[in-house]
């Protein structure tokens, strides 16, 4: 397939470097990471040294100052690794958690944390979701009460990627109990090991096995006022602001996964013999794979168009919501059929396609459920 027209030569070089890194440093070791339930921190530090963790961050703090297109390329190439947990580990750090500091941090906060974040020495996580509040962020119950020069946090967060081994957490909490819904929410930076902050339990997931996911508990956790990010009671808007970037990279990951799954399956179909010929010789199978390829390519082109809109400063909430809904559903449709085309081998845990099918199932749920995305589109029709 042809490259999207928005790709510059510099972006192609970044893509090629990422593809080599994934092939050499990720794919040979991913199975071991799956068994251990985490991505080794030395791998993330290596990515930091190569500049892969800081492409969107300001140059004065060690980043490259690039735009949304770079995030999309990163997400797509990580998706092609076939290890969704690895992709999630990196993308939460680069595009879902640390951008809050870039956008809303003051100079002192940025100087303190951003250089180490860019180097992969501090790994970040975002703690918004709660047992009673997922896509409905306005339903947050975690409280932060002002006490002198501190805030005292109490509450529980769940499904937090990088929650076990992360170093710096961007935690959403309600700071004004007298208002309802989206108002009265603030964001705090909480460091690992802060008194009153603990990992309640490590969560056992259907897929994304090499990403560490946790329940976080805050019990009278004191956070210095200096760690309030942005303005008090304005955190909801910061969360919503970054959701567009989060949904873009999740879509890019979905496109990368789906495209790689089709490549793996095409290779298998051209080798697998059945009824005196290869499976690829069966017209029905060929045409189904062709249609899936068309759907993936259409989704990929939409993803790059959305990234371009974002880089141009355009309002693209409708388009990114369309993209998130479509990419997640297409990836799952692709993986379902790829398992079918592999037959019994596609159901075996030793199969790459089997693992990818489990990893893909979270895509219509995480970062905004498909149903929520479609409502965002419907509001704008």
* pLDDT for position 261: 98
Report H helices in 3-106.
9-21, 30-36, 41-49, 68-79, 84-91, 98-104
pLDDT at 135 over 70: no
Chain mean position to CA 357: 17
Q: Phi, psi at residue 260, to the nearest 5°? A: -70, -40
Which CATH superfamily, name and number, covers 237-379? Butyryl-CoA Dehydrogenase, subunit A, domain 3 (1.20.140.10)
For the record, the structure tokens of 118 come out as 């860019």
Q: Which residue numbers are catalytic?
A: 246
**Cα–Cα distance measured from residue 280 to residue 266, given in angstroms and rounded to the nearest whole number:** 8
Q: Which pLDDT tens digit goes with each residue over 189-215?
A: 999 999 999 999 999 999 999 999 999
Q: State the number of CA atoms in the 13 A half-sphere of 233 facing the CB.
A: 11
2 pLDDT band (50/70/90 cuts)? confident
**Cα–Cα distance measured from residue 43 to residue 364, given in angstroms and rounded to the nearest whole number:** 28
Assigned fold of 125-233: Butyryl-CoA Dehydrogenase, subunit A; domain 2 (2.40.110)
pLDDT at 180 over 80: no
Q: Which pLDDT tens digit goes with each residue over 235-286?
A: 888 888 888 899 999 999 999 999 999 999 999 999 999 899 999 999 999 9
Query: Could you tell me the residue ranges of all domains in the chain?
Result: 9-123, 125-233, 237-379
Supply the pTM of this predicted model: 0.95
pLDDT at 138 over 80: no
Tokens 């873009």 locate to 248
**Cα–Cα distance measured from residue 323 to residue 75, given in angstroms and rounded to the nearest whole number:** 14
DSSP three-state, residue 142? coil
pLDDT at 134 over 70: no
Mean per-residue pLDDT, 183-194: 94
To the question of domain 9-123 being in CATH 1.10.3720.10, the answer is: no
Q: Which of 246, 253, 252, 259 is nearest to 292 (CA)?
A: 259
DSSP three-state, residue 309? helix
- For residues 338 and 82, is the Cβ–Cβ distance under 8 A? no
Q: Which pLDDT tens digit goes with each residue over 335-380?
A: 999 999 999 999 999 999 999 999 999 999 999 899 999 999 999 9
Q: Which pLDDT tens digit goes with each residue over 145-161?
A: 999 999 999 999 999 99
Q: Which pLDDT tens digit goes with each residue over 308-346?
A: 999 999 999 999 999 999 999 999 999 999 999 999 999
- For residues 301 and 259, is the Cβ–Cβ distance under 8 A? no
Query: What is the number of H-type helices and E-type strands within the chain?
Result: 12, 10
Chain mean position to CA 21: 19
């Amino acid at each position: 397939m042809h490259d999207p027209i928005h790709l510059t030569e510099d972006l192609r070089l970044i893509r090629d470097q990422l593809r080599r890194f994934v092939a050499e440093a990720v794919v040979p070791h991913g199975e071991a990471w799956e068994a251990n339930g985490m991505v080794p921190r030395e791998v993330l530090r290596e990515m930091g040294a190569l500049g892969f963790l800081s492409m969107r961050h300001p140059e004065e703090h060690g980043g490259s100052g690039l735009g949304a297109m770079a995030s999309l390329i990163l997400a797509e190439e990580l998706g092609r690794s076939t290890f969704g947990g690895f992709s999630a580990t990196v993308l939460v750090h680069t595009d879902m958690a640390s951008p809050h500091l870039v956008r809303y941090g003051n100079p002192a906060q940025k100087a303190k944390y951003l250089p180490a974040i860019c180097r992969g020495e501090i790994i970040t996580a975002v703690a918004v979701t709660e047992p009673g509040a997922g896509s409905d962020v306005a339903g947050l119950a975690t409280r932060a009460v002002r006490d002198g020069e501190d805030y005292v946090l109490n509450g529980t967060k769940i499904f937090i990627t990088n929650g076990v081994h992360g170093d710096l957490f961007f935690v959403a909490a309600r700071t004004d109990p007298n208002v309802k819904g989206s108002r009265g929410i603030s964001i705090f930076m909480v460091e690992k090991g802060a008194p009153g902050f603990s990992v309640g339990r490590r969560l056992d997931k259907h897929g994304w096995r090499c990403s560490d996911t946790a329940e976080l508990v805050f019990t009278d956790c004191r956070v210095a006022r200096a760690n309030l990010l942005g303005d008090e009671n304005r955190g909801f808007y910061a969360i919503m602001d970054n959701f567009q970037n989060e949904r873009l990279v999740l879509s890019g990951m979905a496109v990368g996964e789906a495209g790689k799954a089709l490549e793996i399956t095409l290779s298998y179909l051209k080798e697998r013999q059945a009824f005196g010929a290869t499976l690829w010789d069966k017209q029905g199978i060929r045409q189904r794979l062709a249609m899936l390829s068309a759907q993936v390519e259409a989704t990929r082109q939409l993803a790059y168009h959305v990234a371009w809109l974002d880089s141009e400063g355009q309002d693209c909430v409708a388009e990114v919501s369309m993209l998130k809904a479509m990419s997640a559903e297409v990836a799952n449709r692709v993986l379902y059929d790829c398992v079918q085309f592999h037959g019994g081998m596609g159901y075996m845990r030793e199969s790459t396609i089997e693992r990818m099918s489990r990893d893909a199932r979270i895509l219509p749920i995480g970062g905004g459920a498909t149903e929520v995305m479609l409502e965002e589109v419907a509001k704008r029709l």
